[in-house]
Amino acid sequence: MRLRAIALALRGPPLLQLYGMPNTVLPPDLKAQPRNPPQIIELLENTKWADTLSHKEVEVLAGYFRLYTAEKGSVIVSEGSREIYLCLVVGGEVRVVKQGDREKSKSLGSVGPGKTFGEMSLIDGEPRSASIIAEEPTTLLVLTGDDFQRLSSEVPRLAIKVLLKISKLLSQRLRQTTGALLNHLGG
């Protein structure tokens, strides 16, 4: 009995509450689609997100993702906003835009099917570092901060796998950015 009390005390608050993150409110340009678990499972299985997961884990994870669409020109993420959600592009393409000096924005690139954006918001809850705009009609699987918090409480082993996936993605992007910076500096 005493060990159980210690274990419960060590468990602490759900992972995301450590950052004091608010409930997630998605931008109005994102249009929620009807819940269709088999469709979400299929969409997840057609991405690299399923590479390291069993079919059962994909089925469980699909219950935490929601399907959304965005029309061309829709603002999916606004730079500086604090909404917490990760998006996995499953159809279409989005543009990453960063506000520069003198209010001039700069396109940093595009994100297409099978790629994600918004991972950092799940990790640190800090303001968004760039805006994301749909370049064409786009379909997204969205994992909100609230749903990730629920996943971490209900299926912690799967939440750890998701965090490892996010860590790997962020590490790869940092390596690419470091390489691009070195090339830019003439190294």
Q: Encode pLDDT of 50-63 as tens digits.
A: 999 999 999 999 99
Contact 81/75 with Cβ under 8 angstroms? no
- Distance, in Å, from the CA atom of 122 to the CA atom of 156, rounded to the nearest integer, reads 15
The matching CATH number, chosen from 3.20.20.105, 2.60.120.10, 3.10.105.10, 3.40.1190.20, for 15-169 is 2.60.120.10
Query: Residue 155 is encoded by which pair of tokens?
Result: 């299926």
What pLDDT digit, counting tens, does each position of 75-107 carry?
Answer: 999 999 999 999 999 999 999 999 877 778 888
Query: pLDDT band at 183, cuts 50/70/90?
Result: confident
Q: What is the pTM of this model?
A: 0.82
Question: Could you tell me the CA-to-CA distances from 65 to 88, 151, 152 in Å, in that order?
Answer: 9, 10, 13
* pLDDT of amino acid 23: 55
**Both tokens assigned to 144:** 């909100």
